[in-house]
Structure 1
Amino acid sequence: MERLSSFSLLLQKSDCALTVVENSEEGEGGAVGSEESQEEVTEVVQPSEQWKTLSPGQAVPAGSHVRLNLQTGQREVRLGEEQLKYWTEEHSESEKSSINPDELKRSMKKIKQVLNQDSVSSKFRPMEELKKDMAQLDLLVETDVQIMRRLLEQFNNSSSTTEQRLKVLLELEYLVHQVDNAQSLCSLGGLPLVLQGLNSSDVRLQENSAFVLGSALSSNPAVQVQAVEGGALQMLLTALATAQPLRVKKKVLFAVAALLRHFPHAQLHFLSKGGFQVLTELFRADAGGVLRARIVTMLYDMISEKELMSQSGLDLVSDESHQERVRQYHQVPVEAELLEKGWCGLAPQLLQSTEHDHREKALRALLAMAPTCWHVYRSDTSLLGSLRSLQEQYHDMVQSEMIIGEESSYYADILELVQALQVRMK
C-alpha cells in the first residue's frame, strides 16, 4: 500500500518547491514554495479526477488537492471539489498545457464571480416578481365587513347548498363576537337572514342560526334593540314552544338569555308574550336537567339585575339616564310572574340534580327569589329536607378537604349558600 503525506509535508521534504497560482481581486498573483528555492512557472498542470504526478517547475490552480507519495517520492495532484464543478471544457483538453499566468488568473477570477452570482441569485428574487406577488396579496386582503358581505350573499344565494350555508353560519359566529362586526351584520341586512334560519326545516340550520344570533346579541345593546324591533323575540319563543331537538333548544335559550340580559324593554316584551309560561313548560319537560339549569340561571339574572339597579339608584338620583333604567326595570313584573307561574315550587326541584354546578345555580336563584317566595319555601317540606341533606353532604366534603390541607374550596362555597338559604327560611 502506498504511503502518502499531506501538502505541508511536501513543502518540507521536496527538492523542488511547488508553486500554487492564486487569484486576487487586485489582479496580482503569487507563488508559495520553500525558502531554499523557487522556480519560474513555465507550465500549469490541469488536474483531473485521477491523481497525476507533478514535475519540477509545474504549478497547479488554487483549490487543487496535492499529496506526496512517500514510496515514489513524487508529488501528485487532482481536482478539488469546486474545480470539478466549475472548470471549463477548454482547460480539460489535455493534461498539460502552456498557459499564461495572467490568463489563469483571469479564469480563476471568473470562477469566483460565477460563485458570487449563484449565491446572490439563490437568496434574492427579482424585484418585478416581488411586486407581482405583493399586488396579488393586496387583492386577497379583505376587511371583516367585506368578508361578512360575501358570506351573506352566499347564504342568501338560492343555489347554495345546506352544507355551504352551515359553513357560512360558522364563520359568521366567529366574526360577530366583536361588537362592531355584530352591528355590521345588522347594517348589511344579515339579521333577517339569520332569523330566517330559525324557521328552517333543517335542525342544523336552526341550531347554528340561534348560535349566531346569541353571539351577536351578547353585550351589544345596539343589536338587542334591532333584534327586538325585527321580531326576534317572538321567533325564539316559538322555537322553544315547538318540538325541537335538545341541541336546538340549548342554542335558542342562549339567544333568549343574551337578548334579555341588561335590557328591561326586552324583558317586558318577553313577559307580555308569555315567556314565563314557555319556560315553565320547558322546565317541566326537561328530565335531564340541562335546560333546567339554563332556565334557572336566566331567572336569577333577571331578578338580580332589577335588584341591583334599584339599590344603586339610591346613590344616583341626579343621573337621568340611570333613573330611566330604574323606571324601566320597575315596570317588569318579574316577582308577580314567578308567583303566578309557580316558580317558587319549581326552581327547588333543580336541587335534586347530582351535578354540583346545577345545585349551585339553583341555590343562587332560590336566594334571589326568597323575598318573593319566602312563605312558599317555609311550607315546602321537600325543600327543607333537601337543604338538610345538602348541608350534611357538603359539610363532610369540606371536612375531608381540610384534612388534606385545602383551606378553601368550591364545596365550601356551596355549603355557605345552603346555610344562607336556611337562615332566610327561618
Structure 2
Amino acid sequence: MSFLSGHAGGSSAIWFLLVLLLRCCLTEKSDGALTVVENGGGGEEATVDDDDDDDDDGDLEVVQPTEQWQTLKPGQAVPAGSHVRLNLQTGQREVRLGEEQLKYWTQEHREEETKTSFSPDELKRAMKKIKEDLNPGAHQDSVGSRYRPLDELKRDMAQLDLLMETDVQIMKRLLEQLNSSDTSPEQRLNILLELEYLVHQVDNAQTLCSMGGLQLILEGLNSSDSRLQESSAFVLGSALSSNPAVQVRAVEKGALQTLLTSLATAPKLGIKKKVLFAMASLLRHFPYAQRHFLSHGGLQVLSELFRTDGSGILRTRVVTMLYDMISEKELMLQAGLDQVQDPAHEERLRQYSEVSLQGKLLEEGWCRLVPTLLQSTEHDCREKALRALLAMAPVCLDQYRSDGSLLGSLLSLRLQYQEMVRSENILGEETSYFTEIVELIEALQRKMK
C-alpha cells in the first residue's frame, strides 16, 4: 500500500499540488480539494471543499484527529497541525494527530472535547444574545418579565392555602395548643421545644408574657410528667436570660417560689439541672429577686442540694451561681464610686445594699462546703471553687485559716499545677490556663497568711 502524506497548514506547495494531481488521476470527478483557511484562534484549518456551493449554508464539521488514521469525508475540516495523507490504494484522505499534537493530546484532553459543529440557527441565536447584552434597557425589561407581581403571588399562595406566620402568630398558636386539654404529652413536649427556640429573642420572650404564656410554663413545672417539668424549666430559663422585663414579670407571677419548690422536690438530676439554670437566670443582675431568694430560704435549699449531689455536677453549678451573685454586687459597688448621679443607678445600689449574701453564706456553713470542691479531679471545678473562695474570703478567712484540709489542698494543688506549667513550657504548649490556676491559689494563700 502506498501513501502520500504531509502536515495540514505546514506542508510545502509542491507536496500539496502533487496530492491534488494524484487524486485527479484516480477519479473522474474530484470529491473535494484540500484547502487551508484561517481559524478564529490565529491558526489554520485544512478543509475539504465540495464543488457544490450549496453546502456553504450547511454545518462546518471539524474532525478531531486521534493517534490512529481515520478517513476524511467530503465537507470535513481538520485542526491545524494535523497529519493528512492520501491513501493511494483506496483513494481516500486520512488524518491523524501531528507529532506536536501527539505530545499534547492526552486522554484527559480528549474527554474535554466540546461541540465543534454549529448550525446557522445556533449562530443566529448567539448574535441575538450579543445584541441583547449590548442593549441594557431591553435586557432589564426581559428580566422584569421573568418575575410575577407580589399581589399575584399572594393570590396564588392563598389559593394553595399557604400561610406565612410571624413569630407572634406562631407563639399564639402554640400557646393555644398547650392550653388545650386535647393536647397529648408528646405534643406538649414538641410545643415546649419550639417555644424554647423562639424565646431566645428578647421581644419574643416579652410577647410570651403578654400572651399569658408565662403562667402556662410555670404550671408545667408542677406537672406530674418529669419530661414536661424539665422542658418547662428550660423554656423559662431561656426566656429569663438577660431579659429584665421578663424577670420582673416572673417574680410577680411567683416564679421564685415555684422554682425553689421544684429544686427541693424534683426526683431526677435532669430536672434539677434545668431548674437551677432557670433560677440562675432569674437572679442574675436582679437584686430584688436575690433578696427574696435569701428571705425564702434559698441558701438552705442550695445547701441541701450541694450535700446530696453525688455526681458533683450540681455542686459546680451552685457554686458558680453564688460566685456570680457576689461578684456582680462588688462590680456594681465599684462602678458606683465613679458613676455620675443617676436615679436608676442609685436605686440599684440601694437594692444591692439590702442583699446580705456573704453574711448568709457564713451563717449557712458555705465557708466549709465550698473548699470540698477542690477534691475534684476536674480542672474547671477546681478553678470555680478557687474563684468562689476568693470572693467569700472577706467573711470566711478565719474559717479558712483553721481548716487544715483546705491548707493541705492548696499546697498540693499549687505544686501540681506548677509542675504542669513547667512540663508544658518544655513542650512549647499553651500554659495560660494552668498559670491562671496557680495565680488563684497563690492569691488565696496570701490572704490566709
Q: Classify 1:233/1:67 alpha carbon distance in 2 versus 1 (closer, same or farther; 3 Å).
A: same
Please give the alpha-carbon distance, in whole angstroms, between the structure 2 residues aligned to 1:110 and 1:368: 85
Please give the alpha-carbon distance, in whole angstroms, between the structure 1 residues aligned to 2:48 and 2:428: 84
2:347 aligned residue: 324
Structure 1's unaligned 5+ residue stretches are 19-31, 45-57, 76-81, 83-107, 117-123
Q: Secondary structure at the match of 1:323?
A: helix
Contact kept in structure 1, 2:58 and 2:120, CA below 8 Å:
no
Measured against aligned partners, the alpha-carbon deviations of 1:234-279 in whole angstroms (never above 9, x if no partner) come to 1111110004211111111011001000000110111111111100
1:359 aligned residue: 382
Identity level (%): 61
Please give the alpha-carbon distance, in whole angstroms, between the structure 1 residues aligned to 2:172 and 2:120: 61
2:73 is aligned with 1:67: yes
Q: For residue 303 of structure 1, what is the amino acid of its counterpart?
A: I
Measured against aligned partners, the alpha-carbon deviations of 1:345-401 in whole angstroms (never above 9, x if no partner) come to 111111111111011111101110110111111111121121111112112112212
Q: Classify 1:115/1:303 alpha carbon distance in 2 versus 1 (closer, same or farther; 3 Å).
A: closer
Contact kept in structure 2, 1:261 and 1:302, CA below 8 Å:
yes
2:402 is aligned with 1:386: no
1:231 aligned residue: 254
Aligned length: 364
Q: Classify 1:74/1:188 alpha carbon distance in 2 versus 1 (closer, same or farther; 3 Å).
A: same
Contact kept in structure 2, 1:166 and 1:204, CA below 8 Å:
yes
Contact kept in structure 1, 2:218 and 2:255, CA below 8 Å:
yes
1:186 aligned residue: 209
Q: For residue 384 of structure 2, what is the amino acid of its counterpart?
A: K
1:156 aligned residue: 179
Measured against aligned partners, the alpha-carbon deviations of 1:44-99 in whole angstroms (never above 9, x if no partner) come to 9xxxxxxxxxxxxx999657998259777699xxxxxx9xxxxxxxxxxxxxxxxx
Give TM-score, length-normalised by structure 1.
0.72
Please give the alpha-carbon distance, in whole angstroms, between the structure 2 residues aligned to 1:280 and 1:166: 31
Q: For residue 242 of structure 2, what is the amino acid of its counterpart?
A: S
The offset of 1:340, in angstroms, is 1.8
The offset of 1:150, in angstroms, is 2.5
Q: For residue 174 of structure 1, what is the amino acid of its counterpart?
A: Y
The offset of 1:405, in angstroms, is 2.8
2:392 aligned residue: 369
Please give the alpha-carbon distance, in whole angstroms, between the structure 2 residues aligned to 1:318 and 1:271: 29
The offset of 1:156, in angstroms, is 2.5
Please give the alpha-carbon distance, in whole angstroms, between the structure 2 residues aligned to 1:356 and 1:280: 23
The RMSD of aligned alpha carbons is: 4.1
Q: Classify 1:348/1:113 alpha carbon distance in 2 versus 1 (closer, same or farther; 3 Å).
A: same
Contact kept in structure 1, 2:323 and 2:387, CA below 8 Å:
yes
Please give the alpha-carbon distance, in whole angstroms, between the structure 1 residues aligned to 2:302 and 2:52: 109
2:177 is aligned with 1:177: no
Q: For residue 67 of structure 1, what is the amino acid of its counterpart?
A: K
2:306 is aligned with 1:283: yes
Give TM-score, length-normalised by structure 2.
0.69
Q: For residue 251 of structure 2, what is the amino acid of its counterpart?
A: V
Q: Classify 1:224/1:67 alpha carbon distance in 2 versus 1 (closer, same or farther; 3 Å).
A: same
Deviates more, 1:128-137 or 1:303-312: 128-137
2:231 to 208, 213, 220: 208
1:253 aligned residue: 276
Please give the alpha-carbon distance, in whole angstroms, between the structure 1 residues aligned to 2:56 and 2:215: 89
1:308 to 327, 331, 341: 331
Please give the alpha-carbon distance, in whole angstroms, between the structure 2 residues aligned to 1:379 and 1:343: 15
Please give the alpha-carbon distance, in whole angstroms, between the structure 2 residues aligned to 1:390 and 1:351: 9
Measured against aligned partners, the alpha-carbon deviations of 1:131-150 in whole angstroms (never above 9, x if no partner) come to 69943669443322222222
Contact kept in structure 1, 2:218 and 2:232, CA below 8 Å:
yes
* 1:38-57 → structure 2 map (5 Å cutoff): none
Contact kept in structure 1, 2:397 and 2:448, CA below 8 Å:
yes
Structure 2's unaligned 5+ residue stretches are 4-8, 10-15, 25-29, 33-46, 63-71, 75-85, 94-114, 128-141
1:96 aligned residue: none
Please give the alpha-carbon distance, in whole angstroms, between the structure 2 residues aligned to 1:129 and 1:407: 57
Deviates more, 1:203-212 or 1:143-152: 143-152
1:299 to 322, 330, 335: 322
Contact kept in structure 1, 2:266 and 2:272, CA below 8 Å:
no
Q: Classify 1:109/1:142 alpha carbon distance in 2 versus 1 (closer, same or farther; 3 Å).
A: same
1:86 aligned residue: none
Contact kept in structure 1, 2:59 and 2:120, CA below 8 Å:
no
1:145 to 168, 176, 186: 168
Contact kept in structure 2, 1:317 and 1:323, CA below 8 Å:
no
Please give the alpha-carbon distance, in whole angstroms, between the structure 2 residues aligned to 1:213 and 1:314: 35
2:241 is aligned with 1:218: yes
The offset of 1:280, in angstroms, is 0.6
Please give the alpha-carbon distance, in whole angstroms, between the structure 1 residues aligned to 2:239 and 2:430: 41
Please give the alpha-carbon distance, in whole angstroms, between the structure 2 residues aligned to 1:396 and 1:177: 43
2:292 aligned residue: 269
Q: Classify 1:127/1:195 alpha carbon distance in 2 versus 1 (closer, same or farther; 3 Å).
A: farther
2:189 aligned residue: 166
Q: For residue 203 of structure 2, what is the amino acid of its counterpart?
A: D
Q: Secondary structure at the match of 1:244?
A: coil
Runs of 4+ in 1 over 6 A off after TM superposition: 38-41, 63-66, 69-75, 108-116, 124-129
Q: Secondary structure at the match of 2:165?
A: coil
Measured against aligned partners, the alpha-carbon deviations of 1:191-235 in whole angstroms (never above 9, x if no partner) come to 112212211222221111111111111111011001111111111
Q: Secondary structure at the match of 1:67?
A: coil
